[in-house]
Amino acid sequence: MWASAGLIVWTQAGYAAALALTARLLPRRGARVAAAAPGAQEQLPTLSLIIAAHDEQSVIAAKVQNALALDYPRERLEVIVSCDGCSDETAARAREAGADLVLELARGGKIRAQDAAVARARGEVVAFSDANSLWEAGAARELVGAFADPGVGYACGSVRFVQAATGAAAGNQEGVYWAYELAVRALESRLSSITAGNGAIYATRREAYIVVDPIMGHDLSLPFNMVKRGRRAVYVPGARATEKMVPSLTGEFARKRRMMSHTWPILVRGGMLSPRGYTPGYALMILSHRVLRYTSPALHLILLAANIALVAQGAGALYIVTLALQLLLLAAAALAGAVRLRPLLIARYYVLTTASPAAGLWDWLRHGTSASWEAAEGTR
């Protein structure tokens, strides 16, 4: 029981605290991230911004216009829309909005659409974004600034999830989690390399781009693979993007369940669990932030079952208190469906998102994982 509890506390809170303490004790290490000054155009690498899209006619024009409005020299910026089996007007609207290159591909999934775009890209740096993500004007300069450090192969920016409602009126509490996640990511980047990215805003050197299995998304597979190849994967907080949040907790659970069905293949056969190429510190990061996080459903079940068994055997008052706390968490999550108080919604968010790795594992084992994807509920 205590081993399970300790591992849960470590992955959810202790790991971040240990990173923060280590960062205070050790000299600062980070990529030489510095956005080029507006007049220093000759210092900027050529950049290809790739947008993989499947039936995104409602948002693609705004996305292309957002890309073209970036504070980046137009002659050094290439905007590519890679249409993955689109059956609507995505391609036509992307061309009308001014995209430099629009690829119309058979349905093969997001990764293969990105691969095809990289093969046609002219930029020294290839950046990637979702069709519903909007970048701040200076985001491109900030992001490519990471590559001033020759040891950096991958750079990820900051995404802020937005929704119309706030506080208890907001069903999905993803913003609370994401603020914490980005703080942890900043510490990982300062000390070594990040263990995961996000699809809204990231980039690699074109010559360092890695072709992965089409069911293994870039968010998780690129950072650790860069480390295995002797490069760093860094977080650039100044490169900011916004993305519309899934409005409901049930929708967020469905999104995370789908994501986790892509995550387990990376863990089991994608090389993440192999320590080859990791430093000891980065191996501990992968274990703490990824492996233990994804095995949290099993740890919680072991904790609950062991606690119930100990109470049944007449263990002391301490075990009654720990069992009561676990049952209180579950009760709060259940009650959030009827009573919209923010603490209850956060409890529900924690329970559902902790359960999502188990649901994703079940989906993957039962019927595999498709390389194709559909837009999450309410995000367009």
| Structure confidence at residue 172 (pLDDT) | 65
| Structure confidence at residue 251 (pLDDT) | 84
**Structural domain contains residue 65:** yes
Q: What is the DSSP letter of 358?
A: H
Pairing verdict, β 101-105 and 77-84: parallel
On the CB side of 74, CA atoms within 13 Å amount to 7
**Structural domain contains residue 52:** yes
Per the CB < 8 A criterion, the answer to whether 217 and 256 are in contact is no
Report the CATH number that the domain containing residue 234 is assigned in CATH: 3.90.550.10
Element (H, E) at 188: helix 174-191
**Structural domain contains residue 155:** yes
| Structure confidence at residue 337 (pLDDT) | 75
Per the CB < 8 A criterion, the answer to whether 138 and 186 are in contact is no
**Structural domain contains residue 85:** yes
- Which domain range does residue 169 map to? 41-248
**Structural domain contains residue 344:** no
**Count of domains in the chain?**
1
| Structure confidence at residue 16 (pLDDT) | 97
* Torsion sign (Cα): 27, 229, 220, 367: negative
Order of strands across the sheet that contains 47-53: 101-105, 77-84, 47-53, 125-129, 202-205, 152-162, 232-244, 133-135
Element (H, E) at 49: strand 47-53
**Structural domain contains residue 305:** no
Per the CB < 8 A criterion, the answer to whether 188 and 105 are in contact is no
Element (H, E) at 68: helix 60-68
Pairing verdict, β 152-162 and 202-205: antiparallel
The model's pTM is 0.90
Per the CB < 8 A criterion, the answer to whether 360 and 257 are in contact is yes
**Structural domain contains residue 272:** no
pLDDT 10s digit of each residue in the chain, 380 long?
Answer: 999 999 999 999 999 999 999 999 987 655 455 554 455 555 899 999 999 999 999 999 999 999 999 999 999 999 999 999 999 999 999 999 999 999 999 999 999 999 999 999 999 999 999 999 999 999 999 999 999 999 999 999 999 888 755 554 456 667 778 889 999 999 999 999 999 999 999 999 999 999 999 999 999 999 999 999 999 999 999 999 999 888 788 888 898 999 999 999 999 999 999 999 999 999 999 999 999 999 999 999 999 999 999 999 999 999 999 999 999 999 999 998 788 788 898 999 999 999 999 999 999 999 988 887 777 766 77
**Structural domain contains residue 336:** no
